[in-house]
Structure 1
Amino acid sequence: MSFPTRSSFSHLALLGLLSLVTFNSHAQTAPAAEPTPAQIRRWQHLDLQADGVPGISADKAYRELLGSRVPTPVLVAVIDSGIDTAHVDLKPVLWRNPKEVAGNGLDDDQNGYADDLRGWSFLGGPDGRNIAVETLEQTRIYAQYRSQFEGKTRQAVPKADRAKFDLYEQAKASYEKGKKDEERRLARYTEALTDNTATFERLKQALGVSRLDSALVHEAATRQPAVPEAGPVYAFMRRAGLASDEDALKALNAAIKRSRNRVEMSFNPDYNPRAIVGDNLQDLRQSHYGNADIQGPDATHGTHCAGIIGGLRGNGLGADGVAGDMVRIMGVRSTPSGDERDKDVANAIRYAVDNGAQVISMSFGKEFSPDKAVVDEAMKYAAQKNVLLVHAAGNSGLDVDKTPEYPSARSLNGKLIPNLLTVGASSRLNTSALAASFSNYGKQTVDVFAPGVDIYSSTPANTYASLSGTSMAAPVVAGVAAVLKSYFPQLTAVQLKQIIEQSATPYHTQVLRPGAKDMVDFATLSKSSGIVNLYEAVKLADKMTMVK
């Protein structure tokens, strides 16, 4: 699935809706002054020494190292939920298949995909329909084996079937726990809607207004005497980045819809939308299925990731991408709400590689991967074609050295995948919250951390929003890789990974271990010990290419 954003609120009953992290303001801070609101919206581009923010020093790199150089275009594939192809900040950088004639229903370039002008969707059908919500992998495993193993003990199962039985038991436990958790979450969201609606109505009546905006609520909270409830409401709105009560209720209703979809579909073993696609799920070698609709039913996640990489820089609109117009973005849709299928992921990677992608951004993951071998093969194919894969580490607060999420950094034979770069998420405060509370980590299998908290980027219908997750950190690194490849086209995928790792800025800040309460050295959370840094990466690429 597209990794969900994680959240934390203080009261007002909005539980886990938006992408926020509670920061500890009493821990060690960076030496420079607090950034301005305008800087905060693009904090990932800033520099620790110049701006007091542990960003990737992109502005510094462009200003001091890249201004006089001429880039060459780099094709980056975004394998995700879909991309809004009409977004004003993305439309100029979208890839166009030069050999395909738009809308004629023919496979002009004979690559097996008709009308793939901007990319391809492995979640669509030939009639134009698209999968919006899928089951989770544990739900699918439970559904597949329940008639065979339900009510049986391991000893009663033939030895030849015990590996399947073990998988079934693990998936069943995850399915049952996940379903109960989601049902409780839906109940909390529903209660929150009632509670917050009432709170907002009381405050509107007290102020004699029909709409609450943050400035109005702030004024009511600070004047004497202060209006009851204005203080907590303003604190919540400010922290959540909400402009009005309407925004808050809209976010809550959206969360209720997502949660209900998960209860009714993603955790439903009898739900199967795959008939829309019409492929043979048992044939893992089948690749020519789907449709050309790279936007799909909900392109929020993919559009946001694409904007982080290639949103136009300096145009005064929305947010700047790391690479901007030096990239072309190819959309490949394989990731619904729910869990992606291994077959689709493998085909998405192969499609991107075969159609010229040099970097692939992958912000998705799941707990089980029954057909991991085909994904490993696709990653190996990408390595043979010199393509770098950048993958989000995941949002479960886990040590993925011990508890892997998929696609994982190791292939089935236990070896690290050489062209796969796995990314954890960091925040804009060099404090105990530098490591995002939700981020997975691992000294062996997470390569670097990158900004992934409150990242402002494009969303559908020419809008913009701040989202959090390793889903946001991965495209930051994909953008860095694209910049390096653009200015140093001779670099191989393995060299790109090496440069990004070795040039990362090490941090020894004492941080809360993600998913836990103990303090650890930030450097212990990843292989590189640090946060990706474009400025240092360009300098290292210069040295590496000059030597050769």
Structure 2
Amino acid sequence: MNTNRIFKKLLNIAVISSIPFLANAQKANWQNLDLKADSVFGIGTEKAYKELLKGKKSTRVIVAVNDGGVDAEHEDLKRIMWMNRNEVAGNGKDDDKNGYADDIHGWNFIGGLKGSVDHETLELTRLVRRDQVRFANTTDANVTEKDKKDYEAFKVERSDLEKQLGEANANLAGLMGFKNALDAVIKKIGKENPTLEDIASFKPATNADVRIQEILGEELKKGSFTNFYAEQITEGVKYYSEQVNYNLNLEYNPRDIVGDDPNNDKEKFYGNNDVAGPDAMHGSHVAGIIAADRTNKLGIMGVADNVVIMGVRCTPNGDERDKDVANSIRYAVDNGAKVINMSFGKAYSWDKTIVNEAMKYAASKDVLIVQAAGNENKDIDTENNFPNHKDLDEKTIASWITVGASGPKDDESLKASFSNFGKTQVDVFAPGVQIYSTIPGSKYKNLDGTSMASPVVAGLAGLIRSYYPKLTAAQVKEIIVKSVVKVNHNVSYKKGEGEDAPKVSVPFSDLSISGGIVNAYNALKLAATYDGKSAAN
């Protein structure tokens, strides 16, 4: 999940992106608006409801949110949460004999009798920890031919871990330095929440003061100091502290909380029924995008109007384990989900095979999987992002959509600056910038990421399967891909990392298989023409 974290950095502070030129009324729902009617590159959901679905009957569809946790009590989610009617809540028994006791709203594969995992290491950290024991006494001079390939991989992974940890420590130190200088300026001003006018009238005494004044002068044009400090400084310190203390820490291992054998990939029946877990921010946001109650006149409106959300917790604040991912997919499939959203990914994999087998199982049971492409601005045709399509059969790929993130404006900024892409690995793009959705405590927030784009497509898939229940998973994918709004202009993005990275301009059509942005209106019109024919491979 680490690869889908919303926080991003520029220089020594995080920069939360914004949507220019959108009216406040549009911001909360822009992903569902229409490009021609509303001048923002949404997917035309509201147009579809108004012109295509009015008066039509639909069938309830279960969409699983395989994520970090869902707040089942949120005002905009509680009515649309999946209820396991074959289970008696709170009796501690497995009434439906599915192997999971009291799984009322879903299951938590990273919990146990001792509670639930919050922070976790990266997969890279776990691989290095495993292999440094194996190769403790191995050198280039004495490595055996049999072990040479694994040893070379270990050296690359160890070097990568050292590099990432060094960068995290440096970024944390830089951010703390900035925070201390900022705190000193705020103390001199004498106001906890200074205004733009307060900053302008401040008389800097040092070069650091001048720099702080310049930064705040720009930031307070966008919003309040309180929001800036919370979202960029506090969140930044938290992010890098978690990297240093948990994600990249070889000594940290929270798996005892679960109580399973993490090396036993055949083990399935572990965890607990806490689908929220200690941090339900990400999963709740995803769930709201898919299906937030469209009838209660509260908060927001999800894409789909007759789906229920099954919460399947498998991703911590760190990298998910392949064992948990595979089991979460199988749980969702076996308990009736027809669409699974997976807004996570990682650069390394412990056991890709077990995840591939679960993907194949989902395809064999006619379940569509929708996955976020990742937020590193990388070409995942050439760089690893797990899980991926690269060694799977066509039937499985036909039931799996990978989604990149787009912005609201139909210009060179259309590709979200952070979004991964790939001419063979990414199927479609969908709105993923400043998406307003549900977060724990019946609250709402804007977040960016392919993590937000993926549930837009999962919601669309659920919508199609709800109104056209005879369509197969492969047909639904085919419809979504074929019905995109093609983008016939170039987009710009930075190639590489850092402030000096060059900016390139490429045809948007080079970034994905479809070359376009998903569109609910077009997809539903196309779905109406299908009569049970087989989807093309």
Q: Is the TM value for this pair above 0.5? A: yes
1:183-213: CA deviation from partner (whole Å, max 9, x where unpaired): 122112212322333444555x4xxx6534x
User: What runs of 5+ residues in structure 2 fail to find an aligned partner?
Assistant: 202-209, 497-502
CA shift in 2, pair 1:295/1:238, >3 Å: farther
Match of 1:423 among 389, 392, 403: 403
> What is the CA–CA distance in structure 2 between the aligned matches of 1:539 and 1:412, rounded to whole Å?
30
Amino acid at match of 1:97: N
Q: Cα 1:293–1:509, aligned 2, differ >3 Å: closer, same or farther?
A: same
Equivalent in 478, 487, 491 of residue 511 of structure 1: 491
Distance 1:146 1:438 in 2: 33
Change (3 A) 1:429 1:343: same
For residues 217-270 of structure 1, the C-alpha deviation after alignment (integer angstroms, 9 at most, x for no partner) is 479979xxxxx998964641454xx4x323333332233123212201211112
Structure 2 counterpart of 1:362, from 329, 339, 342: 342
Which SS does the other structure have where 2:460 is aligned? helix
1:16 and 2:17 matched: no
Is 2:470 the counterpart of 1:470?
no
The 2-side partners of 1:284 and 1:447 are apart by 30
Question: For the structure 1 residues 484 and 151, does the alpha-carbon distance in structure 2 shift closer, same or farther, using more than 3 Å as the test?
Answer: same
- In structure 2, the partner of 1:126 is 113
Q: For residues 76-155 of structure 1, what are the structure 2 equivalents within 5 Å?
A: 76-127=63-114, 129-150=115-136, 152-154=138-140
Determine which of 144, 168, 183 is the counterpart of 1:197.
183
Give the conservation status (yes or no) of the 8 Å contact 2:363–2:395: no
Which of 229, 236, 246 in structure 1 is aligned with 2:219?
A: 236
Matching of residue 5 in structure 1 with residue 6 in structure 2: yes
Aligned equivalents of 1:419 and 1:159: distance in 2?
40
1:40 aligns with 2:33: no
The one-letter amino acid paired with 2:73 is: A
> Please, which moves more after superposition, 475-484 or 190-199?
190-199
> 1:232/1:169 Cα in 2 relative to 1: closer, same or farther (>3 Å)?
closer
> Match of 1:156, SS?
coil
Change (3 A) 1:141 1:547: closer
The 5-angstrom pairing of residues 316-395 of structure 1 reads: 316-324=297-305, 326-395=306-375
The residue type paired with residue 211 of structure 1 is N
* Residues 414, 175 of structure 1: alpha-carbon distance in 2 compared, 3 angstrom cutoff: farther
Pairing 1:249-260 to 2, within 5 Å after superposition: 249-251=229-231, 252-260=233-241
Structure 1 segments, 4+ long, off by >4 Å, are: 150-155, 199-203, 218-222, 228-232, 412-416
Verify the 8 A CA contact 1:200 1:245 in the aligned structure 2.
Answer: no
Is residue 409–residue 445 contact of structure 1 (8 Å, CA) maintained in 2?
yes
1:538 partnered with 2:520: no
2:261 is aligned with 1:285: no
Query: C-alpha separation between the residues in 2 aligned to 1:356 and 1:219?
Result: 57
- CA distance in 1 between counterparts of 2:221 and 2:104 reads 42
**Letter aligned with residue 477 of structure 2:** K
Deviations 1:162-198 (A, max 9, x none): 2322331232122111111111221122123223334
Structure 1: runs of 5+ lacking an equivalent: 26-33, 223-227
Aligned to 2:207: none
1-structure distance, mates of 2:249, 2:214: 42
Q: Say if 1:409 and 1:422, in contact at 8 Å, map to a contact too.
A: no
**Letter matched to residue 515 of structure 2:** S
The CA deviation at 1:545 is: 3.2
What's the RMSD between the two structures over aligned residues? 2.5
Query: Structure 1 residues 519 and 464 mapped into 2: Cα distance closer, same or farther (>3 Å)?
Result: same
Partners of 1:476 and 1:304 lie apart in 2 by: 11
Distance in 2 of aligned mates of 1:234 and 1:321: 36
Q: Distance in 1 between matches of 2:155 and 2:282?
A: 32
User: Which among 501, 512, 523 is matched to residue 526 of structure 1?
Assistant: 512
Paired with 2:145 and 2:30, the residues of 1 have a C-alpha distance of 56
Read off the aligned partner of 1:42 and give its amino acid letter: N
Q: Which amino acid aligns with 1:344?
A: D
Q: Please give the secondary structure, in 2, of the residue aligned with 1:445.
A: coil
Once the two structures are superposed, residues 319-374 of structure 1 have per-residue CA deviations (whole angstroms, 9 ceiling, x without a partner) of 221114x1100000010011100000000000000000000000011111120000
| Paired residues of 2:7 and 2:236 also in contact (CA < 8 A) | no
Q: Residues of 2 paired with 1:358 and 1:237: CA distance?
A: 45
The 8 Å contact of residues 69 and 280 in structure 2, kept in 1 or not, is answered as yes
CA-to-aligned-CA distance 1:445-480 (integer Å, 9 cap, x gap): 100000011111111111111111111100010001
Provide the TM-score with structure 1 as the length reference.
0.89
Q: Aligned with 2:239: secondary structure? A: helix
Moved more, 432-441 or 35-44: 35-44
TM-score under structure 2 length normalisation? 0.91
Per the alignment, do residues 199 and 73 of structure 1 end up closer, same or farther by CA in structure 2, a change over 3 Å counting? farther
Aligned mate of 2:225, from 245, 249, 260 = 245
CA contact (8 A) 2:418 2:449 kept: yes
Change (3 A) 1:162 1:291: same
Deviations 1:4-55 (A, max 9, x none): 115466x8x6x1264x26x8x9xxxxxxxx5412102221111111111111
Q: CA 1:282 to 1:412, structure 2 compared with 1: closer, same or farther past 3 Å?
A: farther
Equivalent residues of 1:335, 1:364 under 8 A apart? yes
SS at match of 1:543: coil
Tell me what 1:63 maps to: 50
Structure-2 change in CA distance of 1:436 and 1:487 (3 Å): same
Residues 1:72 and 2:55 are matched in the alignment: no
- Which residue of structure 1 aligns with residue 280 of structure 2? 299
Instruction: Quickly say closer, same or farther: Cα 1:114–1:137, change in 2 above 3 A.
Output: same
Q: Which moved more, 1:425-434 or 1:445-454?
A: 425-434
Residue type of the alignment partner of 2:255 = R
| Displacement after TM superposition at 1:387 (Å) | 0.2
> Partner of 2:37 in structure 1?
50
Task: Indicate conservation of the 8 Å contact 1:133/1:265, yes or no.
Answer: yes
1:461 aligns with 2:441: yes
Instruction: Tell me: CA distance 1:413–1:46, structure 2 relative to 1, closer, same or farther (3 Å).
Output: closer
Q: CA 1:143/1:219 → structure 2, altered by over 3 Å: closer, same or farther?
A: closer
Task: Assess if the C-alpha contact under 8 Å between 2:186 and 2:192 holds in 1.
Answer: no
Query: Residue deviations 1:52-77, cap 9 Å, x none?
Result: 11111111111111112122111000
- Please name the residue that 1:434 is paired with: 414
Range with bigger deviation, 330-339 or 157-166: 157-166
Q: Give SS of 2:446's match.
A: strand
How far, CA to CA, are the matches of 1:150 and 1:276 in structure 2? 28
